[in-house]
Amino acid sequence: MSAPTRKPVHLAVYDTLADWETGHATAYLARAGHPVRTVGPSTDPVTSVGGLRIQPDLALADLRPEDSALLILPGADLWDTSQDLAPFARAARAFLDAGTPVAAICGATAGLAREGLLDDRAHTSAVSFYLAATGYGGGERYIDADAVTDRSLITAGPTEPVAFAREVLGLLGVYEGEVLDAWYRLFHDSDAQAYAVLEKAAAR
């Protein structure tokens, strides 16, 4: 039986994006019926840090929160070396204001910090002093954890793509409870016993 069609998830893509950070999340979202659409600064091709050339499906200016289930912001060198990606942080604000979730990992968390979006939410990142360097006002809300969800915002550090995906899949209801835990243990811990739990859930 095919998965039900759901609102698309929008994956931000831009030059120097970190290829490895969002693959677990987008793959399993797509399997659950969420089309994954890429959104770039424009529709011109971008190149990831690994040299992958990506043709965005739409430009950021055409992205509307009401048309999306989630905005995913991967890390990229540009978050820390220029203001080029600031429009994506502003888009995250529009999404959160509209009640549409946002998931940010690695350098994207610094972009959100600069935008003031972490001042009143629990969050994490690569390390606390990385975000402190942005001058943001949310240092007391920093949590030293692999990934954090506060309301409709997910944050994670660059070494935690599986935990990041776990939070995304849980937030959108792709997996829950024991099944979500098993998914995480399988991909994060190589726990072969977790596979049986996932197989049982898939057979229902």
Dist CA 106 CA 49 (whole Å): 14
Give the dihedral sign, CA 32/38/39/41: positive
Dist CA 103 CA 111 (whole Å): 12
Dist CA 43 CA 56 (whole Å): 5
Three-class secondary structure of residue 148 per DSSP? strand
Are 172 and 29 contacting, i.e. CB atoms less than 8 angstroms apart? yes
Within the chain, how many helices (H) and strands (E) appear? 8, 9
Please give the DSSP secondary-structure letter assigned to residue 203: T
Three-class secondary structure of residue 107 per DSSP? helix
Q: Spell out the alpha helix ranges (H) of the chain.
A: 23-31, 78-81, 86-97, 107-114, 128-132, 161-171, 177-189, 192-202
106 part of the active site: yes
Give me the catalytic one of 106, 110, 113, 182. Answer: 106
Question: Which amino acid is present at 10?
Answer: H
Residues labelled catalytic:
106
